[in-house]
A and B are shown apart, each in its own frame.
Chain A
């Protein structure tokens, strides 16, 4: 149980375009999902908390207009990187809470912006 999927697993896009990443909880309902960003050999940085049916809560320093989060159902949250630039290239990982603070992570999406 507690399986989280992400799609796509990797994506290459041109600078200025937008990319949508999907995060799905496959065998449970997740009222809360989290989006992280991880640079090579670094830790995970919490970007935002995604709540089903309400606006996401963004961490300080994360541009909400650039990283659009939508949590339309109890099993799906999406992150859209708008007007992507090379500095947005990173590994984006979502997670869903099963129990308080216990998170199950998706496999991640590697974004490369050229």
Chain B
């Protein structure tokens, strides 16, 4: 099945810094989902993007879907320690490799 490539694999930031993770596909996606998995926990659905060029916000989180619907990003503004975890994008039930975010207080 189609795959989504996700980068970076790891990101360590100082609390208050911004964070971005990117997903790319070689094929056009009908939609893309984002999940967060806390250490020791299970993935939790964050959002789904469907429309070309779509931008959605959830408090400090901004999700974008590219115009060509081949890439997507998740941006966190002013990270907090509660943001720690692994962020996954997923398309058609297949997950990207995930970006593990650690935040130094």
Report the minimum CB–CB distance from A40 to chain B (whole Å): 11
Q: Is the CB of B93 within 8 A of A49?
A: yes
Give the contact stretch, choosing among A62-70, A76-84, A97-105.
A97-105
CA–CA, A100 and B50, complex, Å: 11
B43 contacts the other chain (CB 8 A): yes
Interface of A is mostly: strand
**Chain A residues near B1 (CB, 8 Å)?**
46, 59
CA–CA, A59 and B90, complex, Å: 16
Q: Is the CB of B43 within 8 A of A101?
A: no
Q: Is the CB of A107 within 8 A of B42?
A: yes
Tally of A-B Cβ pairs under 8 angstroms: 47
Give the contact stretch, choosing among B13-21, B61-69, B73-81, B95-103.
B95-103
Q: Is the CB of A106 within 8 A of B88?
A: no
16 other A-B residue contacts (CB within 8 Å) besides A46-B95, A101-B33, A102-B33: A43-B88, A44-B88, A46-B93, A46-B94, A49-B93, A59-B1, A93-B42, A93-B43, A100-B31, A101-B92, A101-B93, A102-B45, A103-B90, A105-B42, A105-B43, A105-B45
Chain B interface residues toward A at CB < 8 A: 1, 31, 33, 41-45, 48, 88, 90, 92-98, 100
